[in-house]
Amino acid sequence: MIELLDLVLQAHGGIERWKTFDTVRATFVSSGGLLPLKGLDVTPVPSEGIATTREESLRIDGYRRPDWRMRFTPERVVIESKNAEIVEERTNPRASFVGHTLTTAWDIMQVAYFNGYARWTYLTAPFFMAPESCPPCPGSMTIIGLNALCASTSGDRAGVSARGPRLTVGAGSSRDS
């Protein structure tokens, strides 16, 4: 495994400890500029996200309304009542973004997909990047290190950018440094 990823995993308790968990949860309050840019007026309201650790799935209780919840997998997003009555659902939600630009408005299912994808990533990083955590898959998957811009103390963007090594995992896995 990449030395940096090893260090990060150990700093977070190690992969063996991570494997003892089935879920991880956090309360989120969403705000910022993206959702208004996508044509949505979002009042910051706390909601709980519960991510599974062994597959890419997440549930958000109180999603957009106190009596709704959202369930996310990469293949399907559903908004349902607490009684499991489907309010709206979309299969293959990623395909709904084809042709979008930065300012293309999102519908509620696209927001749900984004929330599920982003929050699952937030809650499972850095562990989902460990080769031991990746489910068996045909072929391989390439993960390129994080690009980051660091902010200066004045709030301006500094000219610092970090780019990590390329990591390829899967069948016939190899690691480049």
Number of folded domains in the chain?
A: 2
Q: How much is the pLDDT for 174? A: 34
Domain shared by 30 and 105, yes or no: yes
Mean pLDDT by 10 residues, the chain (177 residues): 77 84 87 83 82 92 91 96 95 95 92 92 82 52 40 35 34 34
DSSP codes joined into one string, the chain: --HHHHHHHHHTT-HHHHTT-SEEEEEE---SSHHHHTT-------EEEEEESSSS-EEEET-SSTTEEEEEETTEEEEEETT--EEEEEESGGGGGTT--TT----HHHHHHHHHHHHHHHHHTTGGGSGGGSPP-SSEEEEEPPPEEEEPTTSPEEEEEE---EEEEETT-EE--
Q: How much is the pLDDT for 127? A: 80
Q: How much is the pLDDT for 131? A: 67
Range of the domain at 20: 14-130
Q: How much is the pLDDT for 141? A: 46
With respect to residue 6, please indicate whether it lies within any of the assigned structural domains: no
Q: How much is the pLDDT for 170? A: 34
Q: How much is the pLDDT for 133? A: 59
With respect to residue 101, please indicate whether it lies within any of the assigned structural domains: yes
Q: How much is the pLDDT for 148? A: 34
Q: How much is the pLDDT for 64? A: 86
Domain shared by 60 and 23, yes or no: yes
Domain shared by 85 and 103, yes or no: yes
Domain shared by 118 and 168, yes or no: no
Q: How much is the pLDDT for 99? A: 94
Q: How much is the pLDDT for 140? A: 47
* pTM, 2 dp: 0.71
